[in-house]
């Protein structure tokens, strides 16, 4: 999975673009975390930051990109659930679910970025 890090180059960019960049950066940190029993804490920490960044993006975007922001929030919530399950029972199966959830999160962030491409 590859998350594009292309941001807004204009210094006069809307605040929503800075928020999108923050979401992308946080999603990259989630993706880059080592999904193993010991790496789940890093996934959780990065996921917490992503949720804060998403909250700011939602505030900045208002309703304009609500479906895409909601999709990223849903993917983040699903990842939170899978991380909790993997922490409670760190097996190959539960860690695979975490990896799948990270992939889904990446896709949702990419879709959000695509939707916002004309704005940022």
Q: pTM of the predicted model, to two decimals?
A: 0.86
- Report whether 23 contacts 112 (CB < 8 A): yes
| Residue pLDDT, tens place only, 42-95 | 899 999 999 999 999 999 998 999 999 999 999 999 999 999 999 999 999 999
The alpha carbon of 21 is separated from its chain's Cα centroid by a whole number of angstroms, namely 11
Q: How many CB atoms lie within 10 A of CB 111?
A: 15
What is d(CA 105, CA 74) in angstroms, rounded to the nearest whole number? 9
For the record, the structure tokens of 93 come out as: 């199966």
pLDDT given for residue 11 in this prediction: 65
Largest CA-CA distance found in the chain, in angstroms, rounded: 48
Instruction: Give the homologous superfamily in CATH for domain 15-115.
Output: Alpha-catenin/vinculin-like (1.20.120.230)
Q: Is 54 left (phi over 0), alpha (psi -120 to 50) or beta?
A: alpha
Confidence of residue 3 (pLDDT cuts 50, 70, 90): very low
What is d(CA 88, CA 108) in angstroms, rounded to the nearest whole number? 26
Domains of the chain: which residue ranges? 15-115
């Amino acid at each position: 999975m590859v998350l594009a890090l292309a941001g807004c180059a204009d210094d006069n960019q809307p605040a929503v673009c800075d928020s999108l960049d923050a979401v992308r950066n946080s999603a990259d940190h989630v993706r880059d975390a080592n999904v193993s029993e010991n790496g789940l804490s890093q996934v959780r920490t990065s996921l917490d930051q992503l949720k804060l960044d998403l909250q700011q993006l939602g505030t900045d975007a208002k309703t304009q990109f609500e479906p895409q922001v909601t999709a990223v929030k849903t993917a983040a919530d699903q990842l939170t659930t899978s991380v909790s399950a993997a922490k409670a029972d760190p097996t190959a199966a539960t860690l695979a679910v975490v990896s799948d959830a990270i992939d889904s999160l990446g896709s949702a962030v990419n879709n959000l970025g695509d939707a916002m491409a004309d704005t940022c």
